[in-house]
Chain A
Amino acid sequence: MQSKIKLLVLFTFLSANIFGQEEKNSRFFIELGIANKTIKDRSFSKLRFHGFIPSLEIGYEKTDKNYWNIDLLAKYGIVNYRNRYFPTTYIEGNLSVRYAMPVSDKSRAGGRFRTTLNVLDYNSFSNGAWTTKHHLDVFLRHSFNISKHALIGEFTYPLIGLASRPRYVGLDEFVASNSDNVPKILYSKNKIFTLHNYAEPTLRLKYIFKSGESKYYSRLTYSYLYLNSVNAYFKHSIRLSFGVHL
Chain B
Amino acid sequence: MAVTNYALYTGCIIPLRYPDIENSIRETMPLLGANVYDMVGAGCCPPGGAFWSVDEISGLIQSARNISIAEFMEKDLVAVCNGCFCYLKNTNMMLKSDKEKREKVNTILNNVGRKYQGTISVYHLVEILHDHIGIEKIKNSIKLNLDGVKAAVHYGCHLLRPSDHLMAENPEKPHKLDALVEALGLESVYYPKKLSCCGAGGGMRGNNPEVTLKILEKKLMNIKYSEPDCIVTACPFCFLQFDLGQKGLREKGEDFCIPVFYYNQLLGLSMGLPKNRIAVLSETPRDGFIKKYYGVE
- Is chain B a partner of chain A in the same complex? no
Residues of B within 8 A of A (CB): none
Residues of A within 8 A of B (CB): none
